[in-house]
Structures are given as C-alpha cells and as structure tokens.
C-alpha cells in the first residue's frame, strides 16, 4: 500500500504560476540548463561504475521550466525516461561527457540546475577486454577523481546567472550541504 501522503499526491502537469503579473510566462526569454540522471564510468567493454539515480528529479524540473516559458537544455545521463516535450535533450554517458556538455553551454544560460548524480571517481585504466575472474583472487581497482561540474560552472558564472546544486547525503546532511553551498559558490542547494 502507498504511504498516506502518496495516496492524495498528484504530480502537477505544469507549475501553478505559469504567468507573471505582466501576463507572460515567468521564464520567457530565459535559458535554463538542467543536468539529470547518473553517469557511467567504464571498467571494461561490458562493465561500469554507476549509481541508482533515476533522473526523475531533473526531468521534472525540465518539464516545469519549459511550462514556465524557458528554453530548456537537459543534459542527461543514461535513464529510462522520455524527454519532456519542447526540451532540448543532450544525452551523455560519462562524467567527462557531462562536464564538456555543461561547460560548452553554461555561458549562454541564465539558470543552471545540477540535479544529476555524476560519478565522483572513474577507473584509472579502462580494460580493452572483459575483465575475468581469476579464481578467488582479489581484484584491486585504482580510481581517479572526475571533474567537478558544478564547481567549474560556478567558478565562471556571470553576475546575473543563478547556479543551483543538489546534495545527496547519508549523514550530517545540513552540515555537508552548507559546506558544499559555500565551497562551490552556489546560489542555492537542495538537500536530499
């Protein structure tokens, strides 16, 4: 059975405030870039490191921004979701690809919302052949950090840009989110 709050909750089709006091959509003539979903870091031709992100948050934000009149660029990792109508989808797989896509469009955007869950690390080496189990021997994997997408964008933001990040935390949520907000020079952060 659904929890009580889910029984009556319905996802809105559009943001309730779809017009400004002047009568036009509030994000008309604005460009919003939103990242969504996970990234995959290849280990070999058949395996990768990834996470459980579904991309639903980023896709819902893209749909809402489009409903409010924005031109929306959705940079998405691999997900099982159809892109919202009237949104330009920029599909990527790895964190490096997401980094390049975001940085190549960031300067033209009024708002950047980083709702994706890009990998923080990638394998130091990607095997050209499938890695096979060797009996009961342990397997050691060396990882290198991936580029920090939102920190790079925020470091180069213009005075009129708004940069919003997300913090998915398992402990000390408020403290970690506040640190991320300050360290990465964000305008706002959403804590999950």
Residue 185 appears among annotated catalytic residues: no
Catalytic residue among 29, 51, 136, 176: 51
Q: Which long-range contacts (CB under 8 A, 24 or more apart) does 166-171 make?
A: 166/57, 166/114, 166/115, 166/117, 166/190, 166/191, 166/192, 167/191, 167/192, 168/117, 168/192
Residue ranges of the alpha helices (H) in 127-183?
A: 149-155, 173-183
Q: Would you say the C-alpha torsion 169, 64, 80, 129 has a positive or negative sign?
A: negative
Give one DSSP letter per residue of 26-65, joined into a string. Answer: TTTT-EEEEEESB--EESSSS-EE-----SHHHHHHHHHH
User: Within 13 Å of residue 39, how many CA atoms lie on the same side as its CB?
Assistant: 25
Residues with a catalytic annotation lie at 51
């Amino acid at each position: 059975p659904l929890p009580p709050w889910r029984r009556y909750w319905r996802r809105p089709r559009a943001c309730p405030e779809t017009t400004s006091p002047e009568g036009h959509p509030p994000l008309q003539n604005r460009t919003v870039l939103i990242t969504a979903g996970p990234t995959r870091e290849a280990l070999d031709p058949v395996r990768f490191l990834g996470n459980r992100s579904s991309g639903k948050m980023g896709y819902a934000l893209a749909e809402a921004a489009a409903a409010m009149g924005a031109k929306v660029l959705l940079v998405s990792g691999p997900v099982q979701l159809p892109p919202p109508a009237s949104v330009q989808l920029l599909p990527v797989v790895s964190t490096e690809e997401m980094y390049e896509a975001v940085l190549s469009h960031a300067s033209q955007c009024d708002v950047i919302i980083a709702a994706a869950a890009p990998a923080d690390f990638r394998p130091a080496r990607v095997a050209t052949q499938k890695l096979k189990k060797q009996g009961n021997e342990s397997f050691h994997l060396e990882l290198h950090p991936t580029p920090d997408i939102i920190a790079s964008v925020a470091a180069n933001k213009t005075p009129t840009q708004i940069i919003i990040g997300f913090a998915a935390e398992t402990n000390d949520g408020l403290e970690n989110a506040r640190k991320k907000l300050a360290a990465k020079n964000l305008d706002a952060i959403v804590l999950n």
